[in-house]
Structure 1
C-alpha cells in the first residue's frame, strides 16, 4: 500500500487536487468545510490511510503558514474525518 501511494503521489494528481482546492481548504475559515467534505469523499473512494498519506503533508504545511495551533488542528481534522468517514455508510 505504501509503495502504491508513493507512486500515486509521484503522478502529481494529489498535488493538482490540492492546488485546485487550496483556496477552499483554509482550516481557519468557514470554507474549510470543503476540505472536510473532500477528505470524507476521498476516504470512501480509496481508504483512510492512503488519504492521510496523500493529503497530510500538504494540508499540514498549508495550516502551518497560519500558526502552529492551526497545523495541529489540521492533523486532527484529517485524522478524525478520515477515520469516521465510513461509519455512516451501511458497509462501513
Structure 2
C-alpha cells in the first residue's frame, strides 16, 4: 500500500478524497504544497498519473493562490455523470 501524503500539520491523505478534505481544512498549507510540486509527485506515486499531469499544468499557469486552490479541488474531484448517460 502506498505511503500517505503527510502534511506538516499532522493531516494524512491516503486517497484523493482525503486530499480534498484537507484542502477544505487547511487551504494555506495545501497551497504551499501545491506550489512546491509535492502533490504531483505523490499523485503519480499512488497511480493517479492523469490527475498528476493536470495538477502540474495548473501549477505552471495559475499564479493567484485562491484560483490555484479552487482549480486544484476541481481537478481532484471525479467528473459527475449525467443521468442521461448509458
TM-score normalised to structure 1 length: 0.39
